[in-house]
């Protein structure tokens, strides 16, 4: 296989082109198949380790003065339906210097205020991130029970002046994903060099996820010329490392 920068970039492009890589979705399943094919083309013996979980399935639409607004429901926060203009709009400050687990107290406080206000859902503008919409990683368990939707921080001033309306329908359903394993190289496979990468994320994730996958594939191929290699491609990253946790709970590794 080629090891040029152009070839690695093509891997990133192929990964991104599959779509939004949320765990348990058809895109997730297609991504696992694509990754398994890439491993096989490098001479790997490929296995998958499936796991089941409660998948959050949601359909929503937020409008401001009848125009669609970019929005992402806060996954697992609540299930059920909302069809309302009684919405609580607030800022959710997110900064690169603040660890993800430190956002939880701020989030809890905002949702508590939204509930007290009599609103039927919270609209949270993620500020401090260049004005972009920032998704929040979460464990796949139900949260406060109060619906919340994330919007770009850049939209906050406009939304404050607009008539807002939210239609939301969220539920849990059985979901399945898997860890993809690739075994390469020669020698004692009981003590392999482990190359791990995650395959999932909230969006297309070309820069963060795609680049890591491309490097992992090339690194594994190069290392396999000298050592036994185990490639571990996990899903569920955005769900608090769900796939990795399930894999490690069932497999004891002894890396070289």
- 76 pLDDT band, cuts 50/70/90, is very high
- 254 pLDDT band, cuts 50/70/90, is low
pLDDT given at position 255: 56
Q: What are phi and psi of 142, to 5 degrees?
A: -65, 145
Inform me whether the pLDDT recorded for 100 exceeds 70: no
Of 119, 145, 173, the domain-final residue: 173
- 93: which DSSP letter? E
pLDDT given at position 250: 84
Q: What is the mean pLDDT of the chain?
A: 93
**CA of 147: how far to CAs of 23, 81, 122, 123, in Å?**
21, 9, 6, 9
Inform me whether the pLDDT recorded for 101 exceeds 60: no
Of 123, 149, 173, the domain-final residue: 173
pLDDT given at position 5: 87
CA–CA dist 181, 175 (Å, integer): 20
pLDDT given at position 253: 66
User: What's the domain count of the chain?
Assistant: 2
Domain co-membership, 179 together with 89 = no
Domain that holds residue 59: 55-173
What is the domain-level CATH number for residue 209? 3.40.630.10
């Amino acid at each position: 296989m080629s090891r040029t920068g152009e070839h690695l970039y093509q891997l990133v492009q192929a990964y991104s082109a599959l779509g939004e890589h949320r765990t348990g979705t058809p895109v997730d399943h297609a991504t696992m198949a694509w990754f398994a094919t890439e491993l096989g083309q490098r001479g790997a013996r490929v296995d998958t380790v499936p796991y089941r979980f409660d998948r959050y399935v949601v359909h929503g639409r937020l409008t401001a003065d009848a125009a669609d607004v970019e929005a992402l429901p806060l996954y697992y926060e609540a299930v059920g339906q909302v069809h309302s203009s009684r919405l609580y709009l607030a800022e959710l400050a997110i900064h690169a210097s603040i660890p993800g687990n430190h956002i939880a107290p701020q989030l809890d406080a905002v949702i508590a205020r939204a509930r007290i206000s009599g609103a039927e859902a919270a609209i949270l503008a993620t500020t401090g991130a260049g004005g972009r919409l920032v998704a929040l990683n979460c464990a796949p368990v139900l949260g406060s029970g109060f619906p919340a939707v994330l919007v770009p921080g850049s939209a906050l001033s406009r939304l404050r002046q607009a008539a807002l309306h939210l239609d939301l329908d969220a539920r849990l359903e059985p979901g399945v994903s898997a860890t993809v394993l690739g075994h390469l190289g020669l020698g004692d496979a009981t003590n392999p060099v482990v190359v791990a990468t995650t395959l999932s994320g909230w969006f297309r994730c070309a820069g963060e996820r795609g680049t890591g996958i491309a490097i992992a594939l090339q690194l594994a191929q190069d290392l396999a010329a000298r050592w036994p290699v185990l490639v571990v491609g996990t899903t569920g990253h955005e769900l608090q490392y769900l796939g990795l946790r399930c894999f490690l709970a069932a497999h004891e590794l002894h890396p070289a």
